[in-house]
Amino acid sequence: MDGNGRWALSNSLNISKGHQKGVQVVKDIVQESVQQKISSLTLYAFSSENWSRPKAEIEAIKKLVLTAIEEQVPELIEQKVKLTFFGRHDDFGKKISKKIKEAEFNTNTSEPSLNLNVALGYGGRQDIVDLTKNISSRVLAKEINIDDINEEMVSNSSCVPEDKIDLLIRTGGDKRISNFLLYQIAYAEIFFIDKFWPDFEKDDFISCINKFNKVSRRFGARI
């Protein structure tokens, strides 16, 4: 969800207004995902690298995370959307950690209409380092053998709730991955959209889904 800052600047607004508008767009895209019967939607809200931003912007984002959870959870419950956060979100402090735990508990349902995963303090390379340490320690403790390590185990040891991502959409105009879901996007169809996230509309999302549905996905085979 890239382009909040540039959207704010291009509209002569404070950066935090861009993030605020970005949250409104999230609400629309979540609604549309439920409509489209998409099983899961994973959002990149804050990367490990975003910690290097100015303190004022980080504080504004922290406040926004709290208010967004407070405002949107009732609607998520109504829509049967199951919310899961991943990444090092404990770094956001006790208040946010508590809110996250509550939101996850309150939206937990056995048959969700949509799994909504939010990456907060997440970095793909850090995740790979962490899961490597985790698997290595299990080998050292003789809980598993080296030969037990397979793609499924790597996936299950990652903090990312989804295994294989089908479609990746990056707004904002830049054509890069920026440390997102490195392992899980191995065969993702990638769409780079030349619009700032706050300008991304339901119709843009639907157009991505329609284009995705027309792609011939061969997964390396000759079909």
Catalytic residue ranges: 2, 50
Is residue 222 within 8 Å of 199, Cβ to Cβ? no
CB 47 to Mg ion: min, Å: 9
CB 134 to ligand IPE: min, Å: 27
Nearest to 79 by CA among 120, 119, 41, 23: 41
191-210 mask for ligand IPE (x: CB under 6 A)? ------x-------------
Which residue is nearest to Mg ion, using beta carbons? 2
Tokens coding 183: 């392992």
Q: How many whole angstroms separate alpha carbon 44 and alpha carbon 195?
A: 16
CB 4 to ligand IPE: min, Å: 3
Q: How many whole angstroms separate alpha carbon 83 and alpha carbon 72?
A: 11
CB 13 to Mg ion: min, Å: 16
Query: Residue 16 carries which side chain, given as an amino acid letter?
Result: S
Q: How many whole angstroms separate alpha carbon 93 and alpha carbon 102?
A: 15
Query: With binding defined as CB under 5 A, does residue 162 bind Mg ion?
Result: no
Q: How many whole angstroms separate alpha carbon 87 and alpha carbon 89?
A: 6
- Alpha helices, DSSP H, located in the chain: 4-10, 15-35, 55-78, 94-106, 124-140, 151-157, 202-214
57-96 mask for ligand IPE (x: CB under 6 A)? ----x-----------------------------------
1-30 mask for Mg ion (x: CB under 5 A)? -x----------------------------
Strand order across the 81-86 sheet: 40-47, 114-122, 81-86
State the binding partner of 46 from ligand IPE, Mg ion, none, CB within 5 to 8 A by kind: ligand IPE
Nearest to 160 by CA among 179, 173, 145, 140: 179
CB 2 to Mg ion: min, Å: 4
State the binding partner of 50 from ligand IPE, Mg ion, none, CB within 5 to 8 A by kind: ligand IPE
138-177 mask for ligand IPE (x: CB under 6 A)? ----------------------------------x-----
Contacts to Mg ion by CB under 5 A? 2
Contacts to ligand IPE by CB under 6 A? 1-6, 46, 50, 61, 172, 197
